Chains A and B, each alone.
Chain A
Amino acid sequence: DAMVIQNPRYQVTQFGKPVTLSCSQTLNHNVMYWYQQKSSQAPKLLFHYYDKDFNNEADTPDNFQSRRPNTSFCFLDIRSPGLGDAAMYLCATSREGYEQYFGPGTRLTVT
């Protein structure tokens, strides 16, 4: 019954080593979002896809990229992770920008 799935749930990567986080959904929602949440902070939107259209937030570092090969899947690529990128990464989906459904998150550790 899982609706928004994120893999892996926990990811450890080395400083500077590229990493990819995955999100998939069974809701057939057209909008998919990626949020970064650092410890004791609110989630912060990095970018989102409206259908195939990519929308980057102005303050999202260039180090973060995203791909959406089809409706169901969306990937977050961190090209050269730094210690400051350690966080929980949350994927969410919505239909036409209505209520967002969040996945369980991926906890990223950078060593």
Chain B
Amino acid sequence: ELKVEQNPLFLSMQEGKNYTIYCNYSTTSDRLYWYRQDPGKSLESLFVLLSNGAVKQEGRLMASLDTKARLSTLHITAAVHDLSATYFCAVSGGGSQGNLIFGKGTKLSVKP
């Protein structure tokens, strides 16, 4: 059974600081996704990581994937208040139907 663990679950950081969110998964998967969710809103796709060593960056966020370690990271550089949200990683269960298994999410709060 595929399991996805994220840590930390809660993260309070000051503006301007750097931090990393970790996502571990238990079995081989060919796709890993990062989503952002604002309170009361739907999921916004941030990154799709498809291969070992993949690195993608958008603004202050950078995601990477190590399929051998079954680990993905979401690195936040010089955090700003607008990044406050809940971040989910999700791993594809495989096959053509693409069922996603989500981590529990990391609630990020960036304080001035």
* Residue B59 is within 8 A (CB to CB) of chain A in the complex: no
- Of residues A31, A41, A43, which shows the largest number of chain B Cβ atoms within 10 Å of its Cβ? A43
Binds B, one of A61-69, A76-84, A100-108: A100-108
Q: Using a Cβ–Cβ cut-off of 8 Å, how many residues does chain A contribute to the interface with B?
A: 25
Q: Using a Cβ–Cβ cut-off of 8 Å, how many residues does chain B contribute to the interface with A?
A: 22
Q: A42-B88, A42-B102, A42-B105 are in contact. Are A104 and B96 (CB under 8 A)?
A: no
Contact call B98/A31, Cβ cutoff below 8 A: yes
A103–B42 alpha-carbon span in the complex (Å): 7
Which single residue of chain A is at the shortest CB-CB distance from B40?
A107
A105–B88 alpha-carbon span in the complex (Å): 16
* Residue B104 is within 8 A (CB to CB) of chain A in the complex: yes
* Residue B112 is within 8 A (CB to CB) of chain A in the complex: no
Which of B33, B41, B107 is close to A99, meaning CB atoms less than 8 Å apart? B33
17 A-B pairs in the complex with CB atoms less than 8 angstroms apart? A31-B97, A33-B99, A40-B107, A41-B104, A43-B100, A45-B99, A48-B99, A50-B97, A88-B40, A97-B92, A97-B95, A99-B33, A99-B48, A101-B45, A103-B42, A104-B42, A107-B40
